[in-house]
Amino acid sequence: MTTYDAGTRSVKSAERILDLLEYIGGQPNGVTFKVLSKDLHIPKSSLHGLLDVLVTRGYAELRPISRTYVLGLRSWETGQAYQRNHSMVREARAVLESIVAKVNETAQLATLVGTENVYLAKVDSTHPLRLISDVGRRLSAHATGVGKALLAHLPDAEVKARFGTGALECYTANTMPTVDALIEELAISRVRGFAIDNEEYTPGVFCLSVPVFDGDGAASSAMSVSVPTSRADQVGMVDILSQLCAASLALSRRCGVTTVDRMLAELTQQEMAKAAIDLLIGSGRYVLHWSGRP
């Protein structure tokens, strides 16, 4: 459920409607009236009326047998309007498809919202073993490649303001455990021009990620390619990094951006991408389960 600071004007019924949509949307198997009332702390009399409005308008559906609520077609249609109204998301699929056609690994586009990254577009590889994720899903930005590629373009003070000073949630043994560790990793990502997810959210999955710059020169989104470590090798990572950087520049061009990021442009060259991957492996900072494969 979304929280608001004290200075934000609150309209309780509007907040509750949005809380319901967000909560229902996060339950793939649907959710019962009882659970909604309990988890969102909405009185049953109010909840009946709110759900009636959502169902009548098509933003929610009530499954008759299980008596569970799921998102309705109007929620999907409204979500699609975001893609129509944002050129980068609209153009992204063709660019992601071009990456997958060349490297045959899953490619994604994401943006940063607070301390989370939200996936905006995705194209799967053809391999039976591949990353399972969904457009619209939110993950903790400190534990993903796209998240760190975007956080690296924020000042350290902003990163601290977003995450606070406490421990960070660890999903695997490789997740950044503290904000200080995260900031150290972000500094390294800025220097090399790309971020990684070294099995930090999902064991056995390694990701390379680069920022995508918009017309204002801001890293408004990031692209990643995810590879099972069982299939990864050094040569493949070099090719993926080169293709990923070229795709980032291509997406920016498709959205009318005329400037070219120097670091991304350099990494499109195979020899520069190889040097960057060699440096990643040779740094001794990471345990890379694929680094011994030529």
Closest CA to 122 of 145, 99, 143: 99
Does residue 131 or residue 66 have the better pLDDT? 66
Residue 201 clears pLDDT 80, i.e. is over it:
yes
Give pLDDT, residue 74.
86
Q: In the predicted model, what is the mean pLDDT of the chain?
A: 89
Q: Which CATH class is domain 86-282?
A: alpha beta
Residue 102 clears pLDDT 80, i.e. is over it:
yes
Give pLDDT, residue 244.
97
Q: What are phi and psi of 269, to 5 degrees?
A: -80, 130
Give pLDDT, residue 255.
80
Tallying the residues shown for the chain, one arrives at 294
Closest CA to 196 of 155, 241, 164, 165: 241
Give pLDDT, residue 12.
84
Mean pLDDT of 231-236: 94
Residue 175 clears pLDDT 80, i.e. is over it:
yes
Give pLDDT, residue 87.
65
Residue 178 clears pLDDT 60, i.e. is over it:
yes
CA 24, 25, 29: angle at the middle one, nearest 5? 70
% of the chain exceeding 70 in pLDDT = 91
Give pLDDT, residue 293.
63
| Strand arrangement, sheet containing 60-63 | 31-32, 68-71, 60-63
Residue 261 clears pLDDT 50, i.e. is over it:
yes
Residue 40 clears pLDDT 50, i.e. is over it:
yes
Residue identified by tokens 């080169």 is 242
Give pLDDT, residue 89.
77
Give pLDDT, residue 79.
74
pLDDT band at 137 (very low <50, low <70, confident <90, very high): confident
DSSP 3-state of 283: coil
Token reading at 86:
């944002």
Residue 42 clears pLDDT 60, i.e. is over it:
yes
**Domains of the chain: which residue ranges?**
12-76, 86-282
Q: Which CATH class is domain 12-76?
A: mainly alpha
| 177 alpha-carbon distance from chain centroid | 19
List, in sequence order, every beta strand (DSSP E) within the chain: 31-32, 60-63, 68-71, 106-113, 116-123, 138-140, 195-198, 205-213, 219-228
